[in-house]
Amino acid sequence: MKILYYPGCSSEHLARDLYLSIETLASSLGVELEVLSDWNCCGAREIEEAPEGVGLFLAARNLALAQGEELLVACSLCFHNLKRAQDLLRKEAGFRARIAELLKEEGLELSLKTPQILPLTEFLARLDLSKFRSAGFRGLPVAVYYGCFLSRPCPTDLEALEKALSAVGYPVVPTTLKSHCCGGHLPRTDSPVIKNLCQRLIFEAHQKGATGLAVACPVCKLNLEIYGGPSFPVRYFTQYLGLALGLSPSWLGLPEEE
Amino acid sequence: MEPGLLLEDILQKLAEEGYQISKRTFLYYVQLGLLPKGKRKGQKKGGVKFYYPTWTLERLKAILELKKKGLKLKEIQERLPKKAPSPPLPKTFSQAERLKDCNACGICGAICPVYEEMDLPPWRLIQAWEEVPDSLPSANTPWVCVGCYLCETRCPQEIPIVEFLRFLRREGLPPGRRWRKHPEWSRIFWSLLEERGRSFDFGAVHAYQIRVLGPAEDQRLLLRLPGPEGEKEVTAPSKIKGLPALKRALERARGWK
Amino acid sequence: MRTKVFLCECGGNISENLDLKALKKALASSGVEVLRHPFLCSPEGQAFFEARILPGEAVLVGACSPHLHGPTFKTLSKKLRVRAFHMVALREEAAWIGKEGAYQRALRLLKGALSALPYYQAPDLKEFPITKALLIIGGGIAGLSAALKASEKELPVYLVEREAFLGGKAVFLDRLYPRLECASCLVSPRLSALSHQKNIRLYTLSRVLQVGGRPGAYEVTLEERPRYVDPERCHGCGECLRVCPVNPPALTMDPPHPVPRAPVIHAARCLHFKGEGCSRCKEVCSRKAIRFEENPRLHRLKVGGIIVATGFKPYPVEKIPYYGYKRLPGVITLWDLEKAFCQKEALRGFDGGPPRKVAVVHCAGSRDRRHLSYCSEICCGLALKAGILLRERLSAEVYHFYLDLRLKSPEGEALLRRAKEEGLRFIRGQVAEISEVPLRPEDEGRLTLLAENTLQPGQKVWAVDLVVLVPGFVPEGGSEEVASLLGLCPDRFGFFSPREEKTAPVETLRKGIWIAGAASGPKDLSESVLSGEAAALEALLFLEKSAFLADTEWVDWEEERCGRCWLCVEVCPFKALRVSPKGLKVEEALCCGCGLCASACPSGALRIKPFPRQAYLQTLEALANAP
Ligand SMILES: Cc1cc2nc3c(=O)[nH]c(=O)nc-3n(C[C@H](O)[C@H](O)[C@H](O)COP(=O)(O)OP(=O)(O)OC[C@H]3O[C@@H](n4cnc5c(N)ncnc54)[C@H](O)[C@@H]3O)c2cc1C
Ligand code: SF4
Ligand code: SF4
Ligand code: SF4
């Protein structure tokens, strides 16, 4: 199976471990990730203070480059930016026309229908992972955390993480805060507030009997690791999946001793 | 009456947009009459400060542009209009009608994860806007908002709170007030993005840590970059192929009216 | 035929926007006599009207809407034996729309009406006999009060209750807002009075299956589900409840004052009906009251009028996931609290212990577009009552989270004062979330509640042991079905709309059908009783007469033109039209001549007789051609 894939900027730095685990996982599942050629940054949180056109253009260029039915996106913020722009461009003909004008210079054209922007969580949940589970693997209970952008304002399947993780043998502990906020970009203003938020998330997972927290978003993971308290493991759900498939920790961006 | 802009605000704002000008030059221009005089205002904590009308910013930009083109100060003086420009039309929030439904129930404040960081909760900005339409707040709220959409999904009146805050944020810094750290971050981010077409969080965080926060312990955490062959050195992303076109497009999108 | 036109100034309401002088001149030029009065509906105005009309004349009144003073002038005209009468709403249709163009609008309306007058034929008055019996649907406090009042006139009253016991919500209340008097002390005497009235026939566990006939002579079919206990034999000792092996028992007799005083067997839980051969209750009953062999029964009733008192219920707050109702221990509703107080059950907080800190959450789902967009008006008072009782009985710290405090009457204010004196705290802010996961470590073991104190910036995290949610109210389940059986109009929230909110609050658009109690919108006990008795009195006034008079022969059906699409049947809001083997049938007692069917008919097969087609064409022409 082959799928068009938008890695996003954090794949190259902050979330190298996430992307490493995605690549490793994909190859052992027999999925070929076809990286979108010449993709650009989605503008992250910073597009909010730029004029609307800037954000729309950044997203639209990627969407126009993506010639295919589906575009796989791993980072939740990229997902949100691409999705929001796609919705807005579908709704507002005015924006659409002006963006089309800008895209022309590179000979690009925007399609209204495609691609469907597919979050990694949903993609992995729809594969039948159970048959890849390594024999004798015993998963310890984990809790999941979706964070904001997979939940709002364009909700994705909020059972996807549970489905994927339980398919490979992890008991998933239900929590109520799985769609709450970790504080997002706030760390850059050194706020103590974020500590409370992250510790609360960890507290719930811990209290309800989880041994770790499976997250989907690089920013969430960063926040939770820095502010959530020292002793509770926070990993990407792809890393958890990889371990259940018997893949080597170092290939999943995890320290060797795991 | 709005208090106007402080000299530091103006220079900061210009720096964000890539203009270079020193405090001395600024004051020299004022002396020449190229720029308006500041208004003296006593401070509560003692001392005085000078506030310049907001249009100073635009005028100064125009001067610097003309200077780039090689014009002499005298020629510039002749070209620029003598009087203060009429104030720019207020940019109106397109969904302003829907703000009227706000009951001031406080749910948006209560659910906001970063409430404690905000000078005012979102609904107070809505109420202020209702009092004086098109007024831009001097509260930090729009800049603190992390865009989690919790408020909007809970608001009993289904008010587009996040869009409203985005609007306020886009409309620029409130006069007389600086949100000190944020613009710096933003500037670093955008310049790195435009250099390559991809953002370079590592570089940005690094630059930000050094420039604004000073060396911090957390850097250690941020710099950990594991790989199958052990820790790897961070390198900046390579440039995308369509970079020149992308830059031009961004420039044009910025200029949209 | 001489025609007189009366123009009313309506105390400036009309004359300020409309040049009546010019209007008078324009009309007079076409040969009619035009008279003007500042207040035609006033006693002087009516005398003026009477004094100027001669028998056999045609009369046109230009004043307010015919819905308001139509009957006034119509009755006077009838008395004066005028040949044709018509009324034009100059105020609503010309003056109030605005000064601009008002004159033109008025002139066209009047000219149109004038050209129709010569064709006018008065509808026939007919007599319809009335069956002297009353049906009341819903045995809550409103239905009950209506039944008691109506039964004083010795006519048969049938009271139909869906549940096994009478009394509705009121029997489970503990203390009453605003005076905190004991609810059962007030409600139970009414319940006992009811069982002593010979002419009231009770049907519990029953519902209305079918309604036929016409106003004054309805034919109603009821279905009564089996109780499996004979209330005539049973004397309510409760022995059977104690021997039932099922937990909770398959027999119940929940209300503190059960009427009828006999338990009900829930077949779904009962072992006998599961084929397990249990008959312990039957064996223990000394009165031989248990009857497993009972079957559903149908009853056919003939009644002259119907009162609908199906009541309301609290909004199901489990639909608000972030309040945690039915998920978190220690989160209850006001209704749960009321029942717990009433049945003397101990209250437990989040940690299982007695609650020390309690939050009372007003507007749980109310004034929220995703749930109830309206304010239920009575719940603030009920919440306040609950807060005071919690404080007095549990010595708990009580926090009220409210958006606006909507208390009425001086007693309401007094109660608020008492609450403050007793140390209840009031925080203006709607609650955003209730969670079992603490935001501050010290709050572990309590419920964390997020609400901003909008009057005093700063605090938004509160930790409590018990949360009492106070939801607003929605119509009782099944009222849609009742509405469609009776042809009633529910408002957009499902409550029954009265004919006129302010001046006819218990009447409906249907003759011979009235509404009472919380079925027409949230009401407290006294308002429910009030409207129940008002409905009963209206019903008695109607049923007292042997017959009623109604204008008939409104609609004429031309068989040859009719294309059988039956659009008319569909649009008639009064259900006056039906299809019979012989064609379209008009139920004369139901038709009020609104004319909707005639305007819906695509083939022009329907005519409103008092105003024949010719009259309409003339009117249209006048409307289109007037200068
Ligand atoms: C928690 C709570 C606390 C309250 N506290 C107070 C207070 O302190 N003071 C105060 O004044 N008021 C109080 N009230 C309000 C009071 O209970 C109502 O005003 C009153 O119950 C309304 O009476 P009702 O007969 O109109 O409706 P209901 O009590 O709802 O009775 C309607 C009856 O009709 C029956 N019914 C419904 N549909 C059908 C059908 N299709 N066929 C046959 N039967 C049907 C129902 O089973 C029910 O028995 C409180 C209400 C609640 C819920
Ligand atoms: S939640 Fe909505 S209605 Fe309530 S204060 Fe905020 S914006 Fe206003
Ligand atoms: S979107 Fe912004 S204002 Fe709204 S709750 Fe989230 S952080 Fe607060
Ligand atoms: S009465 Fe009070 S609690 Fe009820 S909906 Fe109105 S404001 Fe809310």
* Residue-number span of the structural domain to which B60 is assigned: 5-79
How far apart (Å, rounded) are the C-alpha atoms in residues C606 and C618?
Answer: 18
Does residue A189 belong to the interface with chain C, where contact is any CB pair within 8 Å? no
Q: What is the mean pLDDT of residues C372-383?
A: 96
Mutating to test ligand 1, I would choose from C376, C525, C531 the residue with most ligand atoms within 8 A of its C-beta, which is: C525
* Residue-number span of the structural domain to which A17 is assigned: 2-120
Q: Which amino acid is at B34?
A: L
Average pLDDT, chain A: 90
Nearest to C429 by CA among C460, C467, C406, C408: C460
pLDDT for the residue A189: 55
Residue C498 has pLDDT above 80, yes or no: yes
Whether residue C612 has a cis bond before it, omega within 30° of 0: no
Q: CA nearest B114 in C: which residue?
A: C460
3-class DSSP assignment, residue C211 = strand
Q: What is the mean pLDDT of residues C368-391?
A: 96
Residue A257 has pLDDT above 80, yes or no: no
How far apart (Å, rounded) are the C-alpha atoms in residues C192 and A91?
Answer: 65
Mutating to test ligand 1, I would choose from C169, C377, C469 the residue with most ligand atoms within 8 A of its C-beta, which is: C169
Residue C610 has pLDDT above 90, yes or no: no
Number of folded domains in chain B? 3
Tell me the pLDDT tens digit for each residue of C172-201.
999 999 999 999 999 999 999 998 899 999
Higher pLDDT, B223 or C88: C88
Quick check: is B90 in a domain? no
Query: Residues A138, A225: one domain?
Result: yes
Q: Name which of A35-44, B164-173, C386-395 the model is least confident about.
A: B164-173
pLDDT confidence bin for B178, thresholds 50/70/90: very low
Q: Which amino acid is at A133?
A: R
CATH superfamily, domain at C126-225+296-311+488-546: FAD/NAD(P)-binding domain (3.50.50.60)
Express as a percent the part of chain B with pLDDT over 70. Answer: 75
pLDDT for the residue B45: 76
Query: Residues A29, A54: one domain?
Result: yes
Q: What is the mean pLDDT of residues C35-48?
A: 94
- Residues of chain A with C-beta less than 8 angstroms from the C-beta of B108: none
CATH number of C553-609: 3.30.70.20
Query: Residues B102, B166: one domain?
Result: yes
C196: phi then psi, degrees, rounded to nearest 5: -95, -10
Quick check: is B196 in a domain? yes
pLDDT for the residue C187: 93
Dig out the tokens for C606 from the structure: 């329907």
Tell me the pLDDT tens digit for each residue of C76-86.
988 899 988 98
Query: Residues B12, B59: one domain?
Result: yes
Tell me the pLDDT tens digit for each residue of C60-72.
999 999 878 888 8
Tell me the pLDDT tens digit for each residue of B232-244.
666 677 889 989 8
Query: Residues A141, A229: one domain?
Result: yes
Quick check: is B101 in a domain? yes
Report which ligand 3 atom has the smallest distance to the Cα of A184: 7
Alpha carbons within 13 angstroms on the beta-carbon side of residue A173 total 20
Residue B222 has pLDDT above 50, yes or no: no
Query: Residues A139, A245: one domain?
Result: yes
Q: Give the torsion through C-alpha atoms of B42, B46, B47, B53, to 10 deg.
A: -30
Instruction: Identify the residue among A6, A9, A95, A236 best suited for mutation to test binding to B, counting B beta carbons within 10 A and taking the highest.
Output: A9
How far apart (Å, rounded) are the C-alpha atoms in residues B32 and C123?
Answer: 93
How far apart (Å, rounded) are the C-alpha atoms in residues B123 and B114?
Answer: 14
Topology match between the domains C126-225+296-311+488-546 and C227-294: no
Other CB atoms within 10 Å distance of the CB of residue C67: 11
Residue B202 has pLDDT above 80, yes or no: no
Tell me the pLDDT tens digit for each residue of C319-354.
999 999 999 999 999 999 999 999 899 999 999 999
How far apart (Å, rounded) are the C-alpha atoms in residues C68 and C72?
Answer: 8
Q: Give the torsion through C-alpha atoms of A206, A212, A218, A219, to 10 deg.
A: 10
* Residue finishing a domain among A58, A90, A120: A120
C349 Cα: distance to centroid of ligand 3 (angstroms): 31
The DSSP 8-state label assigned to residue C366 in this structure reads B
CATH number of C3-122: 3.40.50
A176 closest CB neighbour out of C435, C438, C439: C435
Query: Residues A50, A140: one domain?
Result: no
Quick check: is A83 in a domain? yes
How far apart (Å, rounded) are the C-alpha atoms in residues B238 and A9?
Answer: 11
Quick check: is B91 in a domain? no
How far apart (Å, rounded) are the C-alpha atoms in residues C300 and B143?
Answer: 71
* Residue finishing a domain among A120, A150, A173: A120
Query: Residues A15, A45: one domain?
Result: yes
The DSSP 8-state label assigned to residue C172 in this structure reads G
CATH superfamily, domain at C315-474: FAD/NAD(P)-binding domain (3.50.50.60)
Tell me the pLDDT tens digit for each residue of B244-255.
899 988 888 887
End-to-end CA distance of chain B: 27
Whether residue C627 has a cis bond before it, omega within 30° of 0: no
Query: Residues B163, B191: one domain?
Result: no
Residue A73 has pLDDT above 90, yes or no: yes
Residue C273 has pLDDT above 70, yes or no: yes
Higher pLDDT, C39 or C593: C39
Q: Please judge whether A105 and B245 are an interchain contact, meaning their C-beta atoms are less than 8 angstroms apart.
A: yes
Query: Residues A29, A82: one domain?
Result: yes
- Which chains lie within 8 Å of chain A at 3 or more CB pairs, if any? B, C
Domain harbouring A29, CATH code = 1.20.1050.140
C-alpha distances out from residue B41 to B37, B173, B179, C333, Å: 13, 20, 21, 57
Q: Which amino acid is at C349?
A: G
C471: phi then psi, degrees, rounded to nearest 5: -80, 165
Higher pLDDT, B53 or C54: C54
Query: Residues B108, B148: one domain?
Result: yes
Residues in chain A: 258
How far apart (Å, rounded) are the C-alpha atoms in residues B229 and C315?
Answer: 60
Alpha carbons within 13 angstroms on the beta-carbon side of residue C425 total 12
pLDDT confidence bin for A219, thresholds 50/70/90: confident
Tell me the pLDDT tens digit for each residue of A99-154.
998 999 888 998 888 899 999 999 999 999 999 998 889 999 999 999 999 999 99
pLDDT for the residue B1: 44
Residue C425 has pLDDT above 50, yes or no: yes
Tell me the pLDDT tens digit for each residue of C435-475.
999 998 899 999 999 999 999 988 899 999 999 999 999 99
Q: Are A123 and A69 in contact (CB under 8 A)?
A: no
Query: Residues A11, A86: one domain?
Result: yes
pLDDT confidence bin for C310, thresholds 50/70/90: very high
pLDDT for the residue B172: 57
Average pLDDT, chain C: 93
Quick check: is B177 in a domain? no
How far apart (Å, rounded) are the C-alpha atoms in residues C290 and C68?
Answer: 58
How far apart (Å, rounded) are the C-alpha atoms in residues C332 and C317?
Answer: 10
The domain locations on chain C are 3-122, 126-225+296-311+488-546, 227-294, 315-474, 553-609
Query: Residues B168, B187: one domain?
Result: no
Query: Residues B117, B167: one domain?
Result: yes
Query: Residues B211, B241: one domain?
Result: yes
Q: What is the mean pLDDT of residues B37-53?
A: 81
Number of folded domains in chain A? 2
Domain harbouring A141, CATH code = 3.40.50
Handedness of CA C231, C237, C240, C242 (dihedral sign): positive
Average pLDDT, chain B: 79
Does residue B115 belong to the interface with chain C, where contact is any CB pair within 8 Å? yes
Query: Residues A143, A234: one domain?
Result: yes
pLDDT for the residue A50: 78
Nearest to A12 by CA among A86, A78, A80: A78
